[in-house]
Amino acid sequence: MTAQVEIRNVSKVYERGNQKLEVLHSIDLDVEQQDFIALMGPSGSGKTTLLNLIGGLDSPTAGTLTVSGQRIDNLGESALARWRAATVGFIFQFYNLLPMLSAQKNVELPLLLTRLSAAQRRRNAAIALELVGLSDRASHKPTELSGGQQQRVAIARAIVSDPALLVCDEPTGDLDRHSAEEVLTLLQQLNRQHGKTIIMVTHDPKAAEYASHVVHLDKGTLVEQVERQA
């Protein structure tokens, strides 16, 4: 199977004033297509930093990062933005929906960057909302939805432009157990039935059980990769 994500010798150093803080040290990691990876580790281990690098939200200080056959560590701001729009779907712990837009309009947001007509955008958003089971809540504002529903809208927004890769930062961190299971089941379904490659940061061992691989980070270093039995 071809690697969806190839990480070679990647380091990330943050500079705060005169201080340099090395958050990731020479990380090497391959994520296969249609894999479901759970990134685990204690706070400050570099999980979110690594996820941000894979999602093209930040650039590594050293090393190479290739995602879906495209080297992204040397892309400029505009090229990286276009690449994100076409390749990656993002799911955050606190959903990050725009509060003044309805669920439907939130889901349509990534499609504004495409050449699709307004009718096509509406149709695609409706399909995505149906996939996450929220067709009947399309006109609701985020404040009118429960946490689990908001996260499902966020998932619909992440998949609406049909990206190959989904990056999820603690997607169940703000949810109760029941909602968390619904969201994780949905992610698993997207992975297994729709072939999405998923990389998920989590603290929760139960959430990690939904992944096919678990990668452990500690102090910015990859310490263990475990393949889970489906």
Partner 1 sequence: MKYLHLIWAALFRRKTRTVFTLLSVLAAFLLFGMLDAVRTAFTAPPSAAGVSRLFVGSRVSIIQSLPQSLLPQIQALPGVDEVTYANWFGGYYQDPKNVNVMFQIAIGPQYLDMHPEFVLPPAQRKAFDETRAGAVIGDTAARALGIKVGDRIPIRGSIFTNKDSGETTWTFDIVGIFKAAEEKQRGFENQLLFRWDYFDEGRAFGEGTVGWYIVRVSDPGESEKVAAAIDALSANSDHETSSQTEQAANLAFMKQIGDIGLIVGAIMAAVFFTLILLTGNTMAQAVRERIPELAVLKTLGFTNRSVLGLVLAESVLLVVLGGAIGLALAQVMLPGLNAASGGRVNFPPIGASTWLLGLALMVGIGLVVGVLPALRGMRLRIVDALAGR
Residues that bind partner 1 (CB under 8 A): 52, 55, 57-58, 77-78, 81-82, 84-86, 90, 92, 96, 98-101, 105, 109-110, 112-113, 118, 157
Question: Looking at beta carbons only, is 77 or 229 nearer to partner 1?
Answer: 77
Question: Looking at beta carbons only, is 1 or 77 nearer to partner 1?
Answer: 77
Closest distance of CB 178 from partner 1, Å: 26
Closest distance of CB 110 from partner 1, Å: 5
Closest distance of CB 83 from partner 1, Å: 8
Question: Looking at beta carbons only, is 101 or 164 nearer to partner 1?
Answer: 101
Question: Looking at beta carbons only, is 86 or 164 nearer to partner 1?
Answer: 86
Show Cβ contacts of residue 162 under 8 Å, excluding neighbours closer than 6 positions.
none
Q: Where are the beta strands (DSSP E) in the chain?
A: 3-16, 19-32, 36-40, 62-67, 70-71, 88-91, 165-169, 197-201, 213-218, 221-227
Q: Which SS3 state, helix, strand or coil, does residue 53 take?
A: helix
Q: Indicate the Cα dihedral angle 140, 145, 151, 152, nearest 10°.
A: -60
Question: Looking at beta carbons only, is 107 or 214 nearer to partner 1?
Answer: 107
Closest distance of CB 227 from partner 1, Å: 30
Question: Looking at beta carbons only, is 11 or 188 nearer to partner 1?
Answer: 11
Closest distance of CB 156 from partner 1, Å: 13
Question: Looking at beta carbons only, is 22 or 181 nearer to partner 1?
Answer: 22
Number of neighbouring beta carbons within 10 Å of residue 131: 19
Q: Are 27 and 53 in contact (CB under 8 A)?
A: no
Number of neighbouring beta carbons within 10 Å of residue 156: 28
Closest distance of CB 108 from partner 1, Å: 9
Residue type, 218: D
Closest distance of CB 190 from partner 1, Å: 18
Phi, psi of 199 (to 5 degrees): -120, 120
Q: Are 60 and 52 in contact (CB under 8 A)?
A: no
Query: How far is C-alpha 156 from the geometric centre of its chain's CA atoms?
Result: 12
Question: What is the token pair recorded at 3?
Answer: 């690697």
